[in-house]
Amino acid sequence: SSSGPQPRSAASPPRRRSSPPRSPPPPPPRCYAAHSPTKCRGCRAQRFNYRNKVPHTCSLGKPMYMGCAACEYANRGGVGTAGNRHSCPRGRRPSAAGPPPPSPTQQAAADRAAAAQRQRAADAERAAARAAEQAAAHAARQRQDAETRRRADRAAAAAAVAAEQERERIARLREEQARATADARLREEEARATAEADRRRRTELKRVAAAARERREQAEDVAAAAAATHRGLVAALVADYVRDEKK
């Protein structure tokens, strides 16, 4: 039967509009053939949550249906969204009933597939955690290597400054030692010159004293000879006087 509006005949009297009978509100959308709003019996995946609005795909390849068993309309929204109140493409009302539950073999396959999917998800999470830990460790090693390089650079700079200061100190010590050696040599030369001058002065004094002593001895000899001559002359004069008196 066509669901479109029928053309009204001109002979028919206008009918009085009446309010449609109130129908009870539709039940809340559920996963098809499910006994819990948060559990898909097609794959028994626990990831779907109406409150968090997290849709999923059934591991058996079936979508998550929201309550219309006649058309199996795929409504992937959450509770309270406009998609929950949809129109059936076949002109039927949405129904809370769904497909029949799967067979034990299908259920076991679904359980195995769900377990494998959970295992893959856990492996992926562990791999992501390991990758994050490795990245964090690598970043920490890079930071530690950078800090070690900065410390090594600072230590090398400090060592270079210390070496330069040590070279300057050694150069100052050498200059002071050279000045001290030059001063000692100068003092030694001055002492040697003073000693030589003293020796020459003593030699000159000795020579002058010897010359004076020689002159004194010569003067004494001359005086002695003059005295002897004077005595001889006096004796001769006396002898001459005595001889003259005797005559």
Phi, psi of 237 (to 5 degrees): -65, -45
pLDDT value for 78: 34
Residue 187 in any domain: the answer is no
Q: How confident is the model at residue 37 (pLDDT cuts 50, 70, 90)?
A: very low
pLDDT value for 169: 95
Domain that holds residue 53: 24-102
Q: Distance between the two ends of the chain, CA-based, in angstroms?
A: 228
> Is residue 186 over pLDDT 90?
yes
> Is residue 240 over pLDDT 50?
yes
Residue 92 in any domain: the answer is yes
| Token pair for 3 | 């669901």
**Alpha carbon distance 122, 119 (integer Å):** 5
Residue 58 in any domain: the answer is yes
pLDDT value for 237: 86
Residue 245 in any domain: the answer is no
Eight-state DSSP code of residue 54 = B
Prediction pTM value: 0.32
Residue 218 in any domain: the answer is no
Residue 46 in any domain: the answer is yes
Residue 189 in any domain: the answer is no
| Token pair for 200 | 């020459």
Burial 193-210 (b: 16+ CB within 10 A, else e): eeeeeeeeeeeeeeeeee
Half-sphere exposure of 147 (CA within 13 A, CB side): 6
pLDDT value for 104: 81
Q: Looking at this protein, which amino acid is placed at residue 123?
A: D
The mean pLDDT of 39-54, rounded to a whole number, is 41
Q: Please list the residues that pair with 49 across neighbouring strands.
A: 54
Residue 233 in any domain: the answer is no
Total domains present in the chain:
1
Residue 167 or 93, more confident:
167
